[in-house]
């Protein structure tokens, strides 16, 4: 059996287009942190994506090699995710992409530990000649959040964020974006193969009880 996180955890990956509260459990990720416009073809973000997928597929396809990973189970590589912020926790705006700080990341299956992660990084460096020194093994416990499915262009996300803000304000909650808790997005569509108006993105905002 192949584990598909999107199907097994629909509450995390397939929310409705109306905002809702969710308590997000701890998860682990392969992550790369950077800064700048994610749309630059040869920029930091594009290089980060290459690193993330190279490490992910090295772990996933280890079943074909001689190094049998302890506890391994086959899985569908989860969707790309991102944490986004401006310096000073100023509210982010898609018009100012050059000011973005980001952590780009993909969920790792539970059998992956630091040793497996370091092995995968070494494999990617030696066999694919891709530098992995910026890759991190990251555990995140997001806790209480409000999330919503955004459909359409990334540049139109403020429309959905406003829906979330209204929901927060009318449900005894407060936005809790801080140095440790960030604006979170999960990308369910491949923008190279999906019409802009059909792109699906989960937008998740950390909150606290007001």
Gyration radius from the chain CA atoms: 17
Long-range contacts of 25-28 (CB under 8 A, 24+ apart): 25/141, 26/139, 26/140, 26/141, 27/107, 27/139, 27/140, 28/107, 28/108, 28/110, 28/112, 28/137, 28/138, 28/139, 28/140
Output the pLDDT for position 41. Answer: 86
**What tens digit of pLDDT does each residue of 25-73 get?**
999 999 999 999 999 988 999 999 999 999 999 999 999 988 899 999 9
Angle at 102 between CA 100 and CA 107, to 5 degrees: 155
| Euclidean distance between CA atoms 1 and 188, whole angstroms | 22
Per-residue pLDDT at 169 exceeds 80: yes
CATH number for the domain harbouring residue 72:
3.20.80.10
Report which of residues 82 and 92 the model is more confident about: 82
Per-residue pLDDT at 155 exceeds 80: yes
Per-residue pLDDT at 85 exceeds 90: yes
Contact between 62 and 68 (Cβ < 8 Å): yes
Residue 171 makes CB contacts below 8 A (sequence gap 6+) with 21
Q: How confident is the model at residue 128 (pLDDT cuts 50, 70, 90)?
A: very high
Looking at the 3D structure of the chain, how many domains does it have? Answer: 1
User: What average pLDDT does this structure show over 137-166?
Assistant: 97
Per-residue pLDDT at 89 exceeds 80: no
Residue 49 makes CB contacts below 8 A (sequence gap 6+) with 80, 104
Q: Which domain holds residue 201?
A: 5-209
Output the pLDDT for position 19. Answer: 98
Output the pLDDT for position 6. Answer: 97
pTM: 0.96
> 3-state DSSP: the chain helix, strand, coil percent, rounded to 5?
35, 30, 35
Q: What is the mean pLDDT of the chain?
A: 96
Type and span of the H or E element at 125: helix 114-128
Contact between 105 and 186 (Cβ < 8 Å): no
């Amino acid at each position: 059996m192949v584990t598909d996180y999107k199907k097994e955890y629909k509450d995390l990956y397939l929310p409705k287009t109306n905002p809702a509260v969710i308590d997000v459990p701890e998860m682990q990720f392969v992550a790369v942190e950077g800064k700048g416009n994610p749309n630059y073809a040869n920029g930091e973000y594009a290089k980060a994506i290459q690193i993330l997928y190279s490490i992910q597929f090295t772990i996933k396809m280890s079943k074909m090699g001689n190094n049998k990973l302890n506890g391994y189970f086959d899985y569908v590589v989860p969707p790309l995710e991102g944490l986004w912020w401006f310096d000073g926790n100023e509210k982010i705006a898609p018009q100012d992409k050059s000011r973005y700080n980001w952590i780009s990341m993909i969920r790792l299956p539970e059998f992956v530990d630091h040793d497996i992660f370091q092995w995968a990084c070494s494999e990617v460096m030696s066999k694919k000649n891709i530098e992995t020194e910026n890759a991190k093994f990251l555990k995140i416990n997001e806790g209480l959040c409000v999330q919503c499915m955004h459909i359409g262009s990334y540049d139109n996300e403020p429309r959905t964020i406003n829906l979330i803000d209204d929901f927060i304000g009318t449900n005894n909650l407060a936005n809790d974006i801080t140095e440790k808790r960030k604006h979170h997005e999960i990308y369910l569509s491949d923008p190279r193969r999906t019409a802009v108006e059909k792109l699906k993105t989960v937008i998740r905002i950390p909150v606290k009880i007001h």
